[in-house]
Amino acid sequence: MAKKQKDVVCGMDVDENSKFKSNYNKQNYYFCSESCKKEFDRNPKKYAH
């Protein structure tokens, strides 16, 4: 079973095996949808903690 992560854009719980993911400052971020990933990729500083 894949570990759950929080989608930093919308707040949903997402499996680490999601096909929507990005890497920013050597940290992986996981998303529930392509639209959340695109939003993060446009401005990662806004969402990265």
* Global confidence as pTM: 0.90
Q: Are 20 and 10 in contact (CB under 8 A)?
A: no
Q: Are 39 and 48 in contact (CB under 8 A)?
A: no
Q: Say whether 2 sits in a helix, a strand or coil.
A: coil
**Tokens standing for 36?**
């959340």
How much is the mean pLDDT over the chain?
A: 96
Residue type, 37: K
Q: Phi and psi (nearest 5°) for 47? A: -110, -25
pLDDT tens digits, 1-40: 779 999 999 999 999 999 999 999 999 999 999 999 999 9
pLDDT of 41: 98
